[in-house]
Amino acid sequence: MRGEALSVLSGHPETGADPAIGRAAALLGGARRPVIAGLGCDVDGVRAALRLAAALGASVDHAARAHGRSELRVLADSGVMTTTVAEARHRSDLIVLAGPGAVAWADHAKAFADAGGLYSWRGERGVLCLATGGARPAHVATGTPVAALGDGMSLHRVLSLLRARVGQKPVAPLPGNGPALAAIDAVALQMKSAAFGVMIVDANDADHVTLDALQALVKDLNKETRFTTLGVPAHHHGRGAHLVSAWTTGGHLPVGLGRGYPEQDDWVHDAERRVTAGEADALLWIGALGPDLPAWAAGVPTVALIHHGATANTADVVIEVGVPGVTHGGVLMDAVRDGFAAVDAKAPQPLPSVAAVIAGIEAALIGGNP
Amino acid sequence: MTTIRLKGGRVVDPVSGATSQRDLYLVDGRVAAALPADGRVDDTYDCTGKIVMAGAVDVHSHIAGGNVTMSRLLLPELHVSEVAGPDGMPFSTAKWSGWETGRLYAEMGYTTVIEPALAPVHALQTHLELADIPLIDRGALTVVGNDDHFLSLLRDREGETAIRDAVAYQLATSKGLGLKVINAGGPAAFHSGLRTFELDDVVPHYGVSSRQILTTLLTAVDQIGVPHPLHVHANNLGVPGAPLTIEDTIAAAEGRRMHFAHIQFYSYGKDAEGMMTSGAEEIARSLEAAPNVSCDVGQVMFGPTVTISLDLMKQWQGAAYASPKKFSLTDGDAEGGGVVPLVYAKTNWINQLQWAIGLEIFLLSPDPWRVMMTTDHPNGGSFTTYPQIIHLLMDSGERARWMEAMPQKAKERTGLADLTREYTMEEIAIMTRAAPAKILGLHDRGHLKDGAVADVAVYDDLADRTAMFSRARYVFKSGRLTVRDGQALGWISGLTSILAPEVDTQMESRMADYITDRFGVGPAAFAVPERAFGDRTIFKVEPCQT
């Protein structure tokens, strides 16, 4: 694979990846506290990155921070109720879009563009927007007008009010521009009346406290009916990477392997914090699926694995890798069907995979020919 | 040719004959009764004074898949890693990782483990996880019976052939080794808001009863020729009075072969006040009268653990008892799953009673070939407690010691104290090796007959059976030494056994339409192709019955 690969040194193309892999191995192998980050790659890439981290004693993090720091934190703090896109589409008679990111995703993914027809007994689908800042979906099929609450309020505030009213607790008088109590109660009733409601939220719209409140509201609703949630998929294969980490190391990212066993710690092993605080002395950035090398990487010796067309001007060693599902096959989390799927190359090219490059680096580390 | 001699051990293998002191040969990964003709031996291991058994086989242990990984994410505080592993074995001490799972099983002498909940829509994740469990062979049971497609076939009164073809499709595409049903219809009913589900209750909107789902699948298993009987997670798990459910379910099978998962959780009777008592004797009587039925126990052991189940209804009920107070519940495309942490406390009389009931079932077992050892890992406790369970079964004195801590309220409700039976080493070999292998249709293992896969565990013959079975002196996987002195030596990969039943092309096209309608993507997104595993060889196809 490497013989035909194109490699780049300090932003300038260079033919043949082997020398670049040797330099990457030297840069990473000589570091005392390396970090592997970005991690936008397929399952085999994540497996390889974790294995390399074990060999180097590195920290590993993924770029989809909101998913890791908020969504997975709430899962570990208090648990979650969730469903799949397909169940939400077919079974749900009330789609609740909580926050503007949920509206944007519903439109972009077109997951609810039709009414879904598998369950003939389902009533008409209702759509409710909570704290979406005025955003309304353009591509969600609904049998009734879209309802909304709290366009000018924070999601956390709206969820708190609803949770109080669902539980028949009083709420303090709201400022003049807030919704009337009757409007809150109407939405609470709409939610309680759903047979299978699904609340959709983008972790980028909410901190962990807000997501926790959202899950608490959903659990309350389940005392009398069925209600659940759906998270907007994490970018750059974030969900897939965290799952691979979970079965490989026992926990989600970020994880440190400097002590010979995994230590999961959102703060200690946060890649950006480690680099900007001067705690890291080398960075391996993996961006086969993106994202681009961030500005904070400029402060640390960097090896960047990037896709065609991406740049990594501050990196010391740049290796162009293939893109799973485009230049070569691989396994990726499929956001539409909500599970891992094997994908084929759409336009095969002789570019190395992330896993292959990392295997080369590992081989070079132990003194073999890369 | 490579020949290994295990010299002078006491070979306990009831399948090949009476226990005796003899040499055993492992030739190119297979067991050989005698030294090959060339007389050459490459390696000799002195097994004098030691017990030599086939590698153990676990018929039901939740070790991989979306819900197992959900439990990893839900409960970081229950598995903080703090010990470094040896060089060359990354993640070997990473708690709850697949790598640690493989190592811990191997060090106890286990060489094959079956994941019992392979959800067809998430088959690839389960197989990716299984492939990352080293040192053991694996397999998984495909879960059917609660998905909309299957229930719609029943509602529409489709014929046996269509149902057989649909089930065969799920089994083949998910690469399962057998078929399992979970609270037949219960999870589907839970999606629609029901909170209890009996054998004759009907799934809303489909008009199909649990009994109908069960009997339909029993027929399908036979028609497809699945070697393992239908693996049944019955209705009413954990409910006092469930022995009646088991009796009714056995009656519904009408003599067809069936395997009950974790039967301890159905062995709860109730007294006049409705309080829980042991129902182990009723269960034992039901098993005695039904030679077509096998089970695994699902023994409860003490300590914090997590329950992982596709039985959404049960998990929703159990969430009220979660400790720590958190849970996850996923309404999936068929069942989904629930993850609820629990503590089985020695100070809790109900937990003590559950522990005693499990042991009663073992000790009242009519036949070690039909009552197998599991903890339903991790639901009743970790698989790492198996050595303690063996100790309790082989040593009535050990049981008495444990029972000293039992609250009076529990003691009054179990007959455990009166049971004097002690398992023999041969019965242990059957229950943990020969029987699970046989019932899974893995005829090349679980015994040490000539030609068997050279999966062998060698133990020091210690009176402390816990110590003995916790750390095998030697373990060989397919003839390769993987464990010495209770410690795994490095990583090798085992294989995942699967069935490959024929799939009807018409059903394939019907399923493609259904999947595309349901998910908006075609069947390729759900496939488990070999290329997903790169250069690794993962699968071994086992024959279906003809």
Cross-chain Cβ contact A226/B192 below 8 Å: yes
Pairwise CA distance, residues A83 & B312, whole Å: 12
Pairwise CA distance, residues B417 & B408, whole Å: 12
Q: Based on the fold, state whether residues A88 and A227 are members of the same structural domain.
A: yes
**Residues pairing with B305 in the sheet:** B342
Q: Based on the fold, state whether residues A86 and A126 are members of the same structural domain.
A: yes
Domain boundary among A188, A216, A233: A233
What the block records as the tokens of B388 is 């303690």
Pairwise CA distance, residues A27 & A38, whole Å: 18
**How many domains, in total, are found in chain A?**
2
Pairwise CA distance, residues B507 & B301, whole Å: 45
Domain that holds residue A100: 70-233
Residues of A in contact with B82 (CB under 8 A): 261
CATH number at residue A76: 3.40.228.10
Mutation site for B-interface testing, chosen from A219, A261, A265 by largest number of B Cβ within 10 Å: A261
Domain boundary among A182, A209, A233: A233
Cross-chain Cβ contact B520/A336 below 8 Å: yes
Q: To which residue do tokens 């590698």 refer? A: B55
For B397, the 3-state DSSP assignment is helix
Q: Based on the fold, state whether residues A191 and A91 are members of the same structural domain.
A: yes
Q: Based on the fold, state whether residues A229 and A240 are members of the same structural domain.
A: no
Q: Based on the fold, state whether residues A43 and A127 are members of the same structural domain.
A: no
The per-residue pLDDT string of chain A (370 residues; one tens digit each, 9 = 90 and over) reads 222 233 333 333 343 458 999 999 999 999 999 999 999 999 999 999 999 999 999 999 999 999 999 999 999 999 999 999 999 999 999 999 999 999 999 999 999 999 998 999 999 999 999 999 999 999 999 989 999 999 999 999 999 999 999 999 999 888 777 899 999 999 999 999 999 999 999 999 999 999 999 999 999 999 999 999 999 999 999 999 999 999 999 999 999 999 999 999 999 999 999 999 999 999 999 999 999 999 999 999 999 999 999 999 999 999 999 999 999 999 999 988 889 999 999 999 999 999 999 999 999 997 644 3
Residue B354 CA: distances (Å) to CA of A220, A301, B30: 31, 58, 41
- Tell me, yes or no, whether A126 lies in a domain: yes
Q: What is the ipTM of this complex?
A: 0.97
How are beta strands B56-58 and B327-331 bridged, if at all? unpaired
Q: Based on the fold, state whether residues A320 and A224 are members of the same structural domain.
A: no
Q: Based on the fold, state whether residues A132 and A223 are members of the same structural domain.
A: yes
Q: Which CATH architecture fits B59-79+112-441?
A: Alpha-Beta Barrel (3.20)
Domain ranges of chain B: 59-79+112-441
SS3 content of chain B, % helix, strand, coil (to 5): 35, 20, 40
Q: What is the DSSP string of B488-539?
A: E-S-----EEEE-----HHHHHHHHHHHHHHHSS-GGGG---GGGGTT---E
What the block records as the tokens of B215 is 């009997």
Q: Based on the fold, state whether residues A110 and A153 are members of the same structural domain.
A: yes
pLDDT tens for B319-329 read: 999 999 999 99
Of A51, A259, A264, the CB nearest to B76: A264
Residue B55 CA: distances (Å) to CA of B25, B33, B493, B540: 15, 16, 16, 18
What the block records as the tokens of B152 is 């719609």
Pairwise CA distance, residues B133 & B113, whole Å: 10
- Tell me, yes or no, whether A370 lies in a domain: no
Q: Based on the fold, state whether residues A212 and A318 are members of the same structural domain.
A: no
Of B64, B193, B327, the CB nearest to A225: B193
Q: Based on the fold, state whether residues A228 and A262 are members of the same structural domain.
A: no
CATH number at residue A279: 3.40.50.740
pLDDT at A336: 82
Q: To which residue do tokens 């239908």 refer? A: B230
For B216, the 3-state DSSP assignment is helix
Average pLDDT in the B268-287 region? 96
Q: Which of residues 21-50 of A touch B (CB under 8 A)?
A: 43-44, 47, 50
pLDDT tens for B425-464 read: 999 999 999 999 999 999 999 999 999 999 999 999 999 9
Domain boundary among A183, A203, A233: A233
* CA-derived radius of gyration, chain B: 23
Q: Based on the fold, state whether residues A79 and A157 are members of the same structural domain.
A: yes
How are beta strands A282-287 and A302-306 bridged, if at all? parallel
Of B68, B518, B521, the CB nearest to A334: B521
Cross-chain Cβ contact B519/A196 below 8 Å: no
Q: Based on the fold, state whether residues A74 and A190 are members of the same structural domain.
A: yes
Average pLDDT in the B241-250 region? 97
